[in-house]
Structure 1
Amino acid sequence: MLARVRAQAGRVATITGSAVLTGGLFTDSLTLPGALAAVATAGVGLATNAKILRAPESVKATAIAVYAAPHAGCGAVLVGERLAPAGVTSVLVQAGAVALWTGATWLLRPGLVARELVGEATVQEIAEVNGKGAETAEVAVPDQPEHASPAARWWAEEIATEDGIAPDTVLLEHQQVSERCVALIIGSSRHGMPVPEISTARLSAYLDMSEDLIEIGPVPGRGAGVRLLVIGPRPQPVEPEAKAAGTDEETWAEIAATAMPGVELIETNTYDLRKEPI
């Protein structure tokens, strides 16, 4: 809320300053009041801005200078309008200065920039006091948990928590076997340690699924540090089609075994039999 009030006050001050500078193009009576108003506005703004006043010494002077820059610029333009010679060219130059001041103050927002400078310096100072410089912070970044996939993140946040169903585990791989069946490769988060026991009853309650549809077993060719978790009904293997009728050689072998033993089938031919008229 306070930040919004400061932002609105800064916008109003910018519009007011632009109006005073524009009036200064046509009359010198605004020079002294306008300059005094700029100085007073800067003083009141700094006096009520505790963040800048309590800034670290390394950045305090810079923050004050940035905050007061538009006020000083406004006063300088007013004085320049007072001292500038008469003439169309001079007025155009002064108008350009007014437009430049207005645009720069409106877009750059020096007050906000000053507070951000103070905030960054304060964070850096706290880190130095705690013995955590920039290099330490950069080294600590990789230690933060990273998940290879949304499924691995879900497992870590929902299942592998300290008091969860499968603590000290990570999801290594997962495969959608069928529409209702998924296979997961679970590994131990501690190197050289087996995967802890995973309660199928708790997992069944969490997934609202029959316990009979949850299987946990070893991964073929791997040690106890990984486990295969199958959730859902496994797809039934497709039954092989009925064996087709035997080939000609197989048929002849059956016939020859009893009717003509020792005779081997060399070649077969197929003919279309047509009924001849008698």
Structure 2
Amino acid sequence: MRAEAGRFATAAGSAVLAGGLVGDSVTGPGILAAVTAAGLGLAVNPRILRAPSYVKPTAIAVYAAPHTGAALILVGERLAPDTGVSLLVQMGVIAAWTGATWVIRPGRLARQVAEEAELQEAEADRTADDDSSTVAVPAEDPGESEAAHWWRTQIAVEGGIAPATVLLAHQRVSQQCVAAVIGSAQHGLPLPDISKARLSAHLDMPEDLIDIQPVPGRGAGVRLLVIGSRPKPAEPEQSTGDEAVWAEIAKTAMPGVELIEATTYKIRDELT
């Protein structure tokens, strides 16, 4: 449909230019028709108007080139001297305009320019998305443990919970508690802040079961990470022997007296 409309517009423009050779009255309406055709053509070609900003002026200029050329030819026809040579030159210019517009088809070329720019922009966005979704994982150590590998690939990745950190050592304290020593990946720098909230979300466990504290005797480059419920210290066994009984008696009856030795006698039945 656009191809037929473009061919018709080219033929109509050529007729208007030819009419400008024989009468000055065609100049004004012809220029107005060229401007109107350019505006209507751009209005029905939204792809050109939606083209990326860096290529939109070029696409519009390509599309409006034949209309601008027709308007300039009409003005030139009015200003040109009325001689045979001038008439031949003007006819040659009209023929060149008609042939170039018919072959090049500026409308289709402008749409192709805009479409190519859109495709390039979409490809650039897709490449940027792929690059941003690629997570940088620290280099693998052939001798690292499973726990260190887990920390490196899930926690210490760039943009992760604890980037630029390494798992130096870990120990299971109990079934519900694990202690780990975390160090900075760069020597001489303090350990980056580790978000307890993000680590809690990653492990799906309450924040109050995660504790990060200094390592005794070490600098700010290492921290102790305790995950889980710490085991409670065993309560000392309460003695129920003679010493405990005497200690209870001595509190009130004989303070300061210490039990040195105790002998047990069997009380005869008649004394009970």
TM-score per shorter chain, which class? 0.3 to 0.5
Choose 1 or 2 for highest CA Rg. 2
Task: Provide TM-score, normalisation by structure 2.
Answer: 0.47
